[in-house]
Amino acid sequence: MADISATIRQSLETKLSQISGLPTIAYEHTDFKPTVGTPFIMVRLMPTGRRAAVTGPSPQQRYDGILAVDCYNPEGTGPAAADAIAAKVMNAFDAATSVDNITIEYAERDRGVIDGSWYVVPVNIGWHVYA
């Protein structure tokens, strides 16, 4: 069976791009240079597994992974703005949501960290799909 990563990426990134009020999204492996003082989001698709869902010849596959969404806000301005961006992302990818037959298992915020001149709040969105 063909790798379906490109289809998964397109579906999840399209859903992310449709969230109202988000800053610019920096997609994986694209030329992006952040503007100093302007919030942005960086997104990565991380497939974590592909396993047979049943036994037998030509079994259906279960694909698992994480859509990592890092919410960047200028450092020194407090956590509220980055937290608000993270909340919008998590609310749009609520557990048990279906995105083109991809099931969202969870959307979780990790602790904020300083990365150079940015305060970053990571959001991990766990997903699976059968194909």
pLDDT digits (tens, 9 = 90+) for 39-66: 999 999 999 999 998 888 888 999 999 9
Can you give the pLDDT at residue 58? Answer: 85
Identify whether the C-beta of residue 71 lies closer than 8 Å to the C-beta of residue 123: yes
Q: How confident is the model at residue 2 (pLDDT cuts 50, 70, 90)?
A: low
Residues 23/88, Cβ–Cβ less than 8 Å: no
123-90-81 Cα angle (round to 5): 75
What is the spatial distance between Cα 73 and Cα 41, in angstroms, rounded to a whole number? 9
- pLDDT confidence of residue 56: 86
- Are 41 and 85 within 8 A, CB to CB? yes
Task: Compute the average pLDDT of residues 8-37.
Answer: 97
**Where do the domains of the chain lie, and which CATH numbers do they carry?**
5-130 (3.30.2000.20)
Average pLDDT, the chain: 95
The pLDDT, as a whole number, for residue 1 is: 41
